Structure 1
Amino acid sequence: SEDLGRVAVVDRKHAAVNPAAFFHGKPITLAEHQASRFIAEPLHLLDCCQESDGGQAIVVTTPERAKDLPHRPVSIAAAASGSGPDQYIMTSYYRPELAGLPEMGIVGDQLWNQSGLRPEDMDMAVLYDHFTPYVLMQLEELGFCGR
Protein backbone atom coordinates (compact mmCIF):
# COMPACT_ATOMS: atom_id res chain seq x y z
CA SER A 1 0.00 0.00 0.00
CA GLU A 2 2.82 2.42 0.80
CA ASP A 3 4.53 1.63 -2.52
CA LEU A 4 1.31 2.49 -4.35
CA GLY A 5 1.01 5.59 -2.18
CA ARG A 6 4.41 6.80 -3.32
CA VAL A 7 3.12 6.69 -6.91
CA ALA A 8 0.04 8.71 -5.92
CA VAL A 9 2.15 11.27 -4.04
CA VAL A 10 4.53 11.88 -6.96
CA ASP A 11 1.63 12.04 -9.46
CA ARG A 12 -0.09 14.70 -7.37
CA LYS A 13 3.22 16.51 -6.82
CA HIS A 14 3.50 17.05 -10.57
CA ALA A 15 -0.19 17.92 -10.98
CA ALA A 16 -0.01 20.42 -8.13
CA VAL A 17 2.49 22.62 -10.00
CA ASN A 18 0.57 22.61 -13.29
CA PRO A 19 -1.90 25.53 -13.42
CA ALA A 20 -4.00 23.65 -15.98
CA ALA A 21 -4.26 20.48 -13.86
CA PHE A 22 -7.35 19.45 -11.92
CA PHE A 23 -5.20 19.05 -8.79
CA HIS A 24 -3.26 22.32 -9.17
CA GLY A 25 -2.13 23.47 -5.74
CA LYS A 26 -3.34 20.24 -4.09
CA PRO A 27 -0.37 17.95 -3.37
CA ILE A 28 -0.80 15.04 -0.97
CA THR A 29 1.48 13.35 1.53
CA LEU A 30 2.06 9.65 2.03
CA ALA A 31 0.32 9.97 5.41
CA GLU A 32 -2.77 11.45 3.69
CA HIS A 33 -2.72 8.63 1.16
CA GLN A 34 -2.51 5.99 3.88
CA ALA A 35 -5.31 7.66 5.86
CA SER A 36 -7.70 7.71 2.89
CA ARG A 37 -10.35 4.99 2.96
CA PHE A 38 -9.92 1.70 1.17
CA ILE A 39 -11.91 1.31 -2.04
CA ALA A 40 -10.83 -2.28 -2.73
CA GLU A 41 -7.84 -3.35 -0.67
CA PRO A 42 -4.98 -2.60 -1.30
CA LEU A 43 -6.32 0.45 -3.21
CA HIS A 44 -7.05 3.54 -1.17
CA LEU A 45 -9.24 6.35 -2.45
CA LEU A 46 -6.09 8.28 -3.40
CA ASP A 47 -4.88 5.38 -5.59
CA CYS A 48 -7.89 5.82 -7.86
CA CYS A 49 -8.50 8.15 -10.75
CA GLN A 50 -10.39 11.36 -10.20
CA GLU A 51 -12.81 11.33 -13.12
CA SER A 52 -11.63 14.33 -15.09
CA ASP A 53 -12.06 13.56 -18.75
CA GLY A 54 -10.64 16.18 -21.02
CA GLY A 55 -9.41 16.57 -24.52
CA GLN A 56 -6.22 17.15 -26.34
CA ALA A 57 -4.96 17.37 -29.88
CA ILE A 58 -1.68 16.89 -31.64
CA VAL A 59 -1.11 18.68 -34.92
CA VAL A 60 1.02 16.57 -37.25
CA THR A 61 2.59 18.11 -40.31
CA THR A 62 5.71 17.86 -42.42
CA PRO A 63 9.04 19.21 -41.17
CA GLU A 64 8.98 21.73 -44.03
CA ARG A 65 5.68 23.25 -42.91
CA ALA A 66 6.61 23.05 -39.23
CA LYS A 67 9.71 25.23 -39.62
CA ASP A 68 7.51 28.34 -40.06
CA LEU A 69 5.25 27.64 -37.06
CA PRO A 70 5.60 29.70 -33.86
CA HIS A 71 6.61 26.75 -31.62
CA ARG A 72 9.63 24.50 -31.92
CA PRO A 73 8.49 21.26 -33.57
CA VAL A 74 9.28 17.76 -32.36
CA SER A 75 9.71 14.73 -34.58
CA ILE A 76 7.70 11.58 -34.07
CA ALA A 77 10.21 8.75 -33.85
CA ALA A 78 7.67 5.91 -33.52
CA ALA A 79 3.99 5.12 -33.03
CA ALA A 80 2.25 1.91 -31.98
CA SER A 81 -1.03 0.64 -30.63
CA GLY A 82 -2.06 -2.68 -29.21
CA SER A 83 -4.63 -4.62 -27.25
CA GLY A 84 -4.77 -7.92 -25.46
CA PRO A 85 -6.99 -10.97 -25.90
CA ASP A 86 -10.65 -10.28 -25.03
CA GLN A 87 -9.79 -6.58 -24.83
CA TYR A 88 -12.72 -4.34 -24.01
CA ILE A 89 -12.18 -0.61 -23.66
CA MET A 90 -9.19 -0.05 -21.34
CA THR A 91 -8.56 -3.43 -19.78
CA SER A 92 -9.17 -7.08 -20.33
CA TYR A 93 -11.80 -8.02 -17.77
CA TYR A 94 -11.61 -11.76 -18.43
CA ARG A 95 -7.95 -12.41 -17.68
CA PRO A 96 -7.35 -15.27 -15.28
CA GLU A 97 -4.99 -13.02 -13.32
CA LEU A 98 -3.58 -9.54 -13.56
CA ALA A 99 0.15 -10.13 -13.84
CA GLY A 100 1.30 -7.20 -15.87
CA LEU A 101 0.13 -5.66 -19.12
CA PRO A 102 1.52 -7.86 -21.91
CA GLU A 103 -0.03 -5.67 -24.60
CA MET A 104 1.95 -2.71 -23.23
CA GLY A 105 5.12 -4.79 -23.53
CA ILE A 106 4.33 -5.50 -27.19
CA VAL A 107 3.67 -1.82 -27.88
CA GLY A 108 6.87 -0.88 -26.06
CA ASP A 109 8.89 -3.34 -28.14
CA GLN A 110 7.39 -1.85 -31.31
CA LEU A 111 8.24 1.69 -30.20
CA TRP A 112 11.80 0.81 -29.23
CA ASN A 113 12.35 -1.09 -32.49
CA GLN A 114 10.89 1.66 -34.69
CA SER A 115 12.70 4.52 -33.00
CA GLY A 116 16.03 2.84 -32.33
CA LEU A 117 15.79 4.26 -28.80
CA ARG A 118 15.80 2.44 -25.46
CA PRO A 119 14.37 3.25 -22.02
CA GLU A 120 17.75 4.59 -20.89
CA ASP A 121 17.57 7.20 -23.69
CA MET A 122 14.43 8.78 -22.20
CA ASP A 123 14.40 11.90 -20.06
CA MET A 124 10.64 11.67 -19.46
CA ALA A 125 7.76 9.23 -19.89
CA VAL A 126 4.10 10.18 -19.86
CA LEU A 127 2.17 7.23 -18.43
CA TYR A 128 -1.52 6.81 -17.83
CA ASP A 129 -1.97 7.02 -14.07
CA HIS A 130 -5.64 6.14 -13.64
CA PHE A 131 -4.82 3.65 -10.86
CA THR A 132 -1.44 3.55 -9.14
CA PRO A 133 -0.67 -0.15 -9.82
CA TYR A 134 -0.90 0.51 -13.56
CA VAL A 135 1.91 3.06 -13.38
CA LEU A 136 4.23 0.40 -11.97
CA MET A 137 3.10 -2.21 -14.53
CA GLN A 138 3.67 0.23 -17.40
CA LEU A 139 7.18 1.02 -16.15
CA GLU A 140 7.91 -2.72 -16.04
CA GLU A 141 6.43 -3.54 -19.45
CA LEU A 142 8.19 -0.65 -21.16
CA GLY A 143 11.52 -1.76 -19.76
CA PHE A 144 12.16 1.14 -17.39
CA CYS A 145 12.66 -1.28 -14.48
CA GLY A 146 12.52 -4.96 -13.66
CA ARG A 147 9.44 -6.72 -12.37
Structure 2
Amino acid sequence: MKETIKDFFGYFKPIFENTQYRFNNPLGYAFAFSWILFNWKAVYYFFFSDEKAADKIVYLQSMYVSDDSIIYTYLLVLPLLSSVAYIILAPIISNLATMTWSFFDKSFTGIRLWFVENIPFMSRAEQTGNPP
Protein backbone atom coordinates (compact mmCIF):
# COMPACT_ATOMS: atom_id res chain seq x y z
CA MET A 1 0.00 0.00 0.00
CA LYS A 2 2.82 2.37 0.93
CA GLU A 3 4.59 1.70 -2.36
CA THR A 4 1.38 2.32 -4.29
CA ILE A 5 1.01 5.73 -2.66
CA LYS A 6 4.65 6.53 -3.40
CA ASP A 7 4.20 5.48 -7.02
CA PHE A 8 1.03 7.56 -7.32
CA PHE A 9 2.65 10.71 -5.94
CA GLY A 10 5.83 9.95 -7.90
CA TYR A 11 3.99 10.87 -11.08
CA PHE A 12 3.26 14.31 -9.65
CA LYS A 13 6.76 14.93 -8.29
CA PRO A 14 7.94 16.97 -11.33
CA ILE A 15 4.85 19.15 -11.03
CA PHE A 16 5.46 19.74 -7.32
CA GLU A 17 9.13 20.53 -7.93
CA ASN A 18 8.28 22.96 -10.72
CA THR A 19 5.67 24.66 -8.55
CA GLN A 20 8.11 24.86 -5.67
CA TYR A 21 10.74 26.42 -7.95
CA ARG A 22 8.25 28.99 -9.22
CA PHE A 23 7.21 30.03 -5.74
CA ASN A 24 10.69 30.08 -4.23
CA ASN A 25 11.49 33.40 -5.81
CA PRO A 26 10.16 36.74 -4.55
CA LEU A 27 8.14 37.43 -7.69
CA GLY A 28 6.23 34.15 -7.32
CA TYR A 29 5.26 34.85 -3.73
CA ALA A 30 4.41 38.47 -4.44
CA PHE A 31 2.33 37.55 -7.47
CA ALA A 32 0.41 34.83 -5.62
CA PHE A 33 -0.30 37.13 -2.69
CA SER A 34 -1.37 40.06 -4.87
CA TRP A 35 -3.46 37.79 -7.09
CA ILE A 36 -5.36 36.60 -4.03
CA LEU A 37 -5.81 40.20 -2.88
CA PHE A 38 -7.17 41.35 -6.24
CA ASN A 39 -9.36 38.26 -6.69
CA TRP A 40 -10.45 37.69 -3.13
CA LYS A 41 -14.14 37.53 -4.00
CA ALA A 42 -13.58 34.69 -6.47
CA VAL A 43 -11.31 32.82 -4.06
CA TYR A 44 -13.80 33.23 -1.22
CA TYR A 45 -16.70 32.13 -3.41
CA PHE A 46 -14.77 29.14 -4.76
CA PHE A 47 -13.75 27.80 -1.35
CA PHE A 48 -16.70 28.72 0.85
CA SER A 49 -19.75 28.57 -1.40
CA ASP A 50 -22.16 25.70 -0.88
CA GLU A 51 -23.13 25.59 -4.54
CA LYS A 52 -22.26 22.78 -6.93
CA ALA A 53 -19.03 22.84 -8.90
CA ALA A 54 -20.80 23.58 -12.21
CA ASP A 55 -22.52 26.62 -10.69
CA LYS A 56 -19.21 27.85 -9.30
CA ILE A 57 -17.59 27.57 -12.72
CA VAL A 58 -20.43 29.48 -14.38
CA TYR A 59 -20.20 32.22 -11.75
CA LEU A 60 -16.41 32.53 -12.06
CA GLN A 61 -16.67 32.63 -15.85
CA SER A 62 -19.19 35.43 -15.56
CA MET A 63 -16.67 37.36 -13.46
CA TYR A 64 -13.71 37.02 -15.81
CA VAL A 65 -15.06 36.34 -19.30
CA SER A 66 -16.83 39.01 -21.30
CA ASP A 67 -18.02 38.40 -24.87
CA ASP A 68 -15.72 35.36 -25.27
CA SER A 69 -12.64 37.31 -24.26
CA ILE A 70 -10.90 37.02 -20.94
CA ILE A 71 -10.61 40.12 -18.80
CA TYR A 72 -6.90 40.15 -17.97
CA THR A 73 -6.97 43.21 -15.74
CA TYR A 74 -7.64 41.39 -12.48
CA LEU A 75 -6.24 38.04 -13.57
CA LEU A 76 -2.81 39.17 -14.72
CA VAL A 77 -2.12 42.88 -15.17
CA LEU A 78 -2.85 44.34 -11.72
CA PRO A 79 -1.32 41.46 -9.73
CA LEU A 80 1.80 41.54 -11.91
CA LEU A 81 2.20 45.33 -11.61
CA SER A 82 1.71 45.25 -7.85
CA SER A 83 4.20 42.37 -7.55
CA VAL A 84 6.86 44.24 -9.49
CA ALA A 85 6.17 47.40 -7.49
CA TYR A 86 6.51 45.43 -4.26
CA ILE A 87 9.79 43.85 -5.36
CA ILE A 88 11.19 47.26 -6.31
CA LEU A 89 9.81 49.33 -3.42
CA ALA A 90 10.20 46.91 -0.48
CA PRO A 91 14.02 47.08 -0.37
CA ILE A 92 13.95 50.86 -0.84
CA ILE A 93 11.52 51.33 2.04
CA SER A 94 13.51 48.92 4.19
CA ASN A 95 16.74 50.79 3.50
CA LEU A 96 15.08 54.14 4.25
CA ALA A 97 13.83 52.82 7.57
CA THR A 98 17.29 51.49 8.43
CA MET A 99 18.93 54.80 7.47
CA THR A 100 16.41 56.74 9.58
CA TRP A 101 17.01 54.47 12.57
CA SER A 102 20.79 54.80 12.18
CA PHE A 103 20.56 58.58 11.93
CA PHE A 104 18.52 58.95 15.11
CA ASP A 105 20.60 56.36 16.92
CA LYS A 106 23.82 58.24 16.11
CA SER A 107 22.22 61.61 16.84
CA PHE A 108 21.00 60.65 20.31
CA THR A 109 23.97 58.54 21.40
CA GLY A 110 25.72 61.61 22.83
CA ILE A 111 22.62 62.66 24.71
CA ARG A 112 22.14 59.17 26.16
CA LEU A 113 25.78 59.03 27.26
CA TRP A 114 25.52 62.48 28.88
CA PHE A 115 22.52 61.33 30.92
CA VAL A 116 24.26 58.13 31.95
CA GLU A 117 27.42 59.97 33.03
CA ASN A 118 25.98 63.10 34.65
CA ILE A 119 22.68 62.18 36.26
CA PRO A 120 23.07 59.94 39.26
CA PHE A 121 20.35 57.39 39.57
CA MET A 122 21.60 56.56 43.09
CA SER A 123 23.20 58.80 45.62
CA ARG A 124 26.74 58.12 46.78
CA ALA A 125 25.42 56.80 50.09
CA GLU A 126 23.12 54.39 48.28
CA GLN A 127 25.99 53.28 46.06
CA THR A 128 28.18 52.45 49.06
CA GLY A 129 25.37 50.70 50.89
CA ASN A 130 24.86 53.33 53.62
CA PRO A 131 21.42 54.84 52.99
CA PRO A 132 20.70 58.15 54.74
Which TM-score tier does this pair reach, normalised by the shorter chain? under 0.3
Q: Which has the higher helix share?
A: 2
Q: TM-score, normalised by structure 1?
A: 0.22
Structure label with greater radius of gyration: 2
Q: Greater relative contact order (Cα 8 A, min sep 6): structure 1 or 2? A: 2
